[in-house]
Structure 1
Amino acid sequence: MPFSQYAAYAQDTYTLPEISLRLRELLDSPTTDVQDIARLISIDPALTSKVLRLANSALFRFPAQIDNIARAINVVGGEAIYNLVIAETAQKAVFTYHNDLINTKQHWYKSVVTGVLAKRLAKEHVRGTERFFVLGILYHLSEMIIAQHSPDAYQSYLNDAECVEPWQKQSIYFGFDFALCSGGVLQHWQLPLQLYAPLMDAHDSSQDHKPLEERLLCQAQAIEWIFNSCTDPEQCFHKASSLTELSLEYKELAAFYALAEQEALTIQSLF
């Protein structure tokens, strides 16, 4: 079954919240001002509270307290606020596709860890790293959808205990990797190109020189896999070809992951 069919299934079974669609329209309109965006988000008190908690978190490290949506928009920017709304949407989608094969809370934690790792890796290269956090969160979205739609195939995939990077094993069992499928889901949901294209190309072996976003996503996922999923992390570390660019020893990478895990636990509690 091609990944596009799973993406179509997701489109048929989950509807993006109206507020995320309307926010995208406002951000794309040249006549929109800060108050327009603030009024829209303020319609949903729960979302307002969550966006403010995230805006005041380690994601941004702003030195002063951000106490209202208009100030949050002025400080971190409309696109950053949109990314936070999409992160909230992703959490709701993950819990929509609960199934007996995946512990939903653990899966969401895995998504947050991957997001934090991507953000931390991006800090050395770019500003506005919250987009990498959201890309990391979205990376694993399709796994829930695939497990719900094709439980037998997913169970066979789970039963394979060989120490191989996950996307390679996914390609063997499904003919595509889950990041590609997640990108396809987001494309069907008509999210912006910059949120789905890096996922769809993350493990494209035909690219001689991967763009930064794809490289960082591969590295974040590899680190998460080593320390959060492998029974023998050090053995997996030596098999993770996507980490050669980092030039880190195993102990250095373990320390990097430990810091990311602490941050992920804090951020997870904000959702």
Structure 2
Amino acid sequence: MSLKELLQQPFHVPSVPRVVAVLLTELEHPVADLRRITQQISTDPALTLRLLQWANAESVGLRGQISSVSEALALLSLADVKKVAKEAAAGATLKAVPGISLPQFWTYSLNVAKVSRSLAAVVRQNQQAAFTCGLIHGLGELAMHLAMPEDMAALDAKVKPLDLKRAKAERQQFGYCWASVGAGYAQAWGLPQTLVDALEHQYAPFENDVYEPLAGVIHLATWRARCKEATLDDREMAVTFPGFVGEVLGLDIDMVLQQDPFDWAAHT
């Protein structure tokens, strides 16, 4: 399937049922706690995406300008947020994507988001945009598994979905990878061009005269989170560290690891 054909397929991102349930409960309180609502939505890539789609809709008048949950909540009413949550609840399932463990995938995505936000602070990029982009950076992988389950299953047997070499394997197999798929959908959903560009170029930042610092941030955060998934030791991380990307951003491996906000042992 070509990239153009894939992007013409409908793609509905499944939410995490527990998060949706907690959010709906919070929204039923007489006085809603916006901080808790923001926290809940920000842990779920699908909820975040749905909210951003609403906030960037042409009817709101700010299409392509809202890049974070907090910005979206400042625009939308709680009634709108409740509609988003109920839509998510209707499609919330943990068995929706063939070949993908969604609990693992969502945890991994949240890890990328948090590392992205931390790195963005160091290189003076928009931290909220970095968090959002990190949270949704891998949605193209889900879209590919939904649209091409047999082809992806064959590739999964050779290279796991969260392997460091996965994007390269997909490009060799299909001529594109999850980064381009995610960017294509983000463009169609009306997300800010900064996010679209970061998603598009996250696989190979700074190549072909492209300079999108946020793409480099996401690339490094993805490397760190996938190292965790692969349980790489210090030597293996040093060997796989994308030094060119770090050099352009002024970050070496020690600086990246120092900004790592996780006790990875707790997630093993």
Output the TM-score relative to the length of structure 2.
0.64
Offset at residue 232 of structure 1 (A):
3.4
Q: Deviations over 1:85-135 (max 9, x none)?
A: xxxx99998959822311112111111111111111100122541110001
Q: Which amino acid aligns with 1:207?
A: N
Q: CA distance change for structure 1 residues 39 and 134 in 2, over 3 Å: closer, same or farther?
A: closer
Aligned to 1:210: 211
Q: Does the CA-based 8 Å contact 2:186-2:196 persist in structure 1?
A: yes
Offset at residue 40 of structure 1 (A):
3.4
Matches for 1:118-133 after TM superposition, within 5 Å: 118-126=116-124, 128-133=126-131
Offset at residue 222 of structure 1 (A):
1.0
Q: CA distance change for structure 1 residues 150 and 215 in 2, over 3 Å: closer, same or farther?
A: same
Q: 1:43 aligns with which of 79, 103, 118?
A: 79
Q: CA distance change for structure 1 residues 185 and 19 in 2, over 3 Å: closer, same or farther?
A: closer
Q: CA distance change for structure 1 residues 158 and 207 in 2, over 3 Å: closer, same or farther?
A: same
Q: Does the CA-based 8 Å contact 2:182-2:200 persist in structure 1?
A: yes
Alignment partner of 1:20 is 2:55? yes
Offset at residue 215 of structure 1 (A):
1.1
Aligned to 2:185: 185
What is the root-mean-square deviation in Å for CA atoms of aligned residues?
4.0
More divergent stretch after superposition (212-221 vs 162-171): 162-171
Offset at residue 236 of structure 1 (A):
4.7
Distance 1:90 1:216 in 2: 29
Q: What is the aligned residue count?
A: 214
Aligned to 2:225: 224
Matches for 1:1-271 after TM superposition, within 5 Å: 1-10=1-10, 19-22=54-57, 25-27=60-62, 40-44=76-80, 46=82, 98-126=96-124, 128-161=126-159, 164-204=164-204, 206-208=207-209, 210-228=211-229, 230-233=230-233, 234-242=235-243, 244-245=246-247, 246-249=251-254, 256-257=259-260, 259-260=261-262
Offset at residue 254 of structure 1 (A):
5.2
Offset at residue 145 of structure 1 (A):
1.4
Q: Which amino acid aligns with 2:178?
A: F
Q: Does the CA-based 8 Å contact 1:170-1:177 persist in structure 2?
A: yes
Q: CA distance change for structure 1 residues 20 and 10 in 2, over 3 Å: closer, same or farther?
A: farther
Distance 2:88 2:174 in 1: 23
Q: CA distance change for structure 1 residues 175 and 244 in 2, over 3 Å: closer, same or farther?
A: same
Distance 2:242 2:76 in 1: 45
Q: Does the CA-based 8 Å contact 1:153-1:173 persist in structure 2?
A: no
Q: What secondary structure is seen at the aligned counterpart in 2 of 1:10?
A: coil
Q: What secondary structure is seen at the aligned counterpart in 1 of 2:77?
A: helix
Report the identity percentage. Answer: 16
Offset at residue 190 of structure 1 (A):
2.5
Distance 1:90 1:225 in 2: 27
Offset at residue 23 of structure 1 (A):
8.1
Q: Deviations over 1:17-42 (max 9, x none)?
A: 774344872446xxxxxxxx757322
Gaps of 5+ in 1: 29-36, 51-88, 266-271
Offset at residue 199 of structure 1 (A):
0.9
Gaps of 5+ in 2: 14-48, 64-72
Q: Does the CA-based 8 Å contact 1:110-1:224 persist in structure 2?
A: yes
